[in-house]
Structure 1
């Protein structure tokens, strides 16, 4: 399933999105109080499907009327409790601005999402992509590195999303079982890459890149001239396997909007050097490093 990011301000971003803050919006009340518009509430029209891909795992479900459905794709990009949500189709057609976006699990307060992105799905049309922790409460230091919280997942029965032109509630049903299937897929995938997934239950100090700015610049320089001239944006999520010596032993593209960028991104990223990850005992361990490269151009 292909996604094409929409054009925006020129920038390249390199890093992870895990921290969140509570979202609160205040409006000046008019003399005559107006009732807040009701959100669009959509029921599921398909079962959950787990899509096992070569380099990623995702949950997929359709909502709303069959003749004009809305698609929800939930991806787990690493072993933490952070998930990526992509909503595409009819419910997103009126969204003209991706910031700010809040997400609401129906348990606890809504949270503001950092770095949301508008995109276009090749089959369903308009899309919005956000990354957010699927866990209770705002993220404290290193909280986003912890593994999934099954007790919280079992309590969630809906996913709400609000933005300019969007107030949507997807009635997902209890998320415990489908997310467990997703976690199983991800654990199998990471084990095949040589990662000890049992360590995700503990606190692992992630590998630290020595010069992320230089890597981001090297990746930016390889942007295809044809896409550059057309002002076409792109987004690539990748994962590096970092060994105990701080070297990169493997690169996996988790998601991309431009297949032509994949080889270049992995070639440059594989040159990076890291301070290796360390386990609870302080000893170096083979672990992973995930990052997102976003190219945006002014249309």
Structure 2
């Protein structure tokens, strides 16, 4: 994940006061008020349980595969979207709807269960069509992982990220474990948990895997061969140096515009980018142009290699976040 921020930034309970007017009956009355207050808090923190109100829908887009489903009804209706831009086990997760109105992108956790994966960093707030607000997370996993994903960390290491991406691509499907996942929870301290009854995720994730494998073949990628690679393209320098604050479009920064851009670079057998393709963008289009212009000018790689040491053409993909200065 590349974080690009405006020049104004360096980088990527309440108080209750009770006044006793008198003793005696006043104290008893106040005690009753406190009991009612704590009872109301307990009631507010009961989970909001949302059942499915539609079937899963899988969208075969030109540059992504998206699983979407609606849960709840009326003002409690939410949308859940799982998006993948390449084969592997990680995905982007979006949950949107009025029940999330008082949740903060800086303090939430999304967890799959029982005993599934969780995500508690890197969220951004926005909207999803008519569903507002929306919370967007990246590098989510349905299942628990043994390794740490550094893509959202300040300690991001591009070599480790390339190795992680290859492990994710080569990891065998865990169909039984995916089938055991039944729900998703959005949690935040002092807020009522939103509990979303997903149903078994076995068949939806199997369909998603088929979609992403087909997607990559449309890029000219031999998915089976890539699952046998020794390494994917590795940046020769930190990708964080490929884009700087100077690349933030000045007109968009002045307006406080922000954006998330999913991109893919085609990388030849010499490690040179040959094409920049925007897979998904929150727009405005000025962000898309800025990303591709900078990447095609500055990105350099060690090429992908087969296990017998032969350099081959491949791809490298990531995300850029444009965050306005405060």
TM-score, normalization by structure 1: 0.79
CA distance in 2, matches of 1:82, 1:49: 19
Contact 1:159 1:171 in 2 (8 A): yes
Contact 2:128 2:134 in 1 (8 A): yes
Distance verdict in 2 for CA 1:150–1:68, change over 3 Å: same
Distance verdict in 2 for CA 1:230–1:295, change over 3 Å: same
The question of 1:162 aligning with 2:199 is answered no
Q: Deviations over 1:229-286 (max 9, x none)?
A: 1112211121222222212233222221114122332232233210112334443333
CA distance in 2, matches of 1:179, 1:109: 14
* CA-based RMSD: 2.8
Contact 1:79 1:200 in 2 (8 A): no
Equivalence for 1:127: 134
Equivalence for 2:319: 292
CA distance in 2, matches of 1:166, 1:258: 33
Equivalence for 1:75: 83
The correspondence of residues 43-62 of structure 1 with structure 2, limited to 5 A, is 43-62=51-70
The structure showing larger relative contact order (alpha-carbon pairs under 8 Å, at least 6 residues apart) is: 1
TM-score, normalization by structure 2: 0.73
Contact 1:12 1:216 in 2 (8 A): no
CA distance in 1, matches of 2:311, 2:168: 21
Instruction: Identify the structure with the greater helix proportion.
Output: 2
Contact 1:239 1:289 in 2 (8 A): yes
Distance verdict in 2 for CA 1:124–1:11, change over 3 Å: farther
Equivalence for 1:20: none
CA distance in 1, matches of 2:207, 2:119: 27
Equivalence for 1:118: 125
Task: Quote how far apart the aligned CAs of 1:64 are.
Answer: 0.7
- Decide which structure has the larger Cα Rg and report it: 2
Equivalence for 2:215: 189
The question of 1:251 aligning with 2:273 is answered no
Contact 1:44 1:172 in 2 (8 A): yes
What residue ranges of structure 2 are gaps of 5+ in the alignment? Answer: 1-5, 13-37, 149-159
Distance verdict in 2 for CA 1:163–1:284, change over 3 Å: farther
Contact 2:63 2:85 in 1 (8 A): no
Distance verdict in 2 for CA 1:284–1:150, change over 3 Å: farther
2:147 to 116, 133, 139: 139
Equivalence for 2:16: none
Contact 2:247 2:294 in 1 (8 A): no
2:231 to 205, 220, 238: 205
1:105 to 112, 121, 144: 112
Task: Quote how far apart the aligned CAs of 1:109 are.
Answer: 5.9
Q: Deviations over 1:6-25 (max 9, x none)?
A: x9x94665xxxxxxxxxxxx
CA distance in 2, matches of 1:207, 1:70: 38
Q: Deviations over 1:68-102 (max 9, x none)?
A: 5211110012222101110011221111x212332
Equivalence for 2:248: 223
What residue ranges of structure 1 are gaps of 5+ in the alignment? Answer: 1-6, 14-31
Contact 2:75 2:99 in 1 (8 A): no
Distance verdict in 2 for CA 1:12–1:253, change over 3 Å: farther
Contact 1:11 1:297 in 2 (8 A): no
CA distance in 1, matches of 2:204, 2:226: 20
The question of 1:178 aligning with 2:186 is answered no
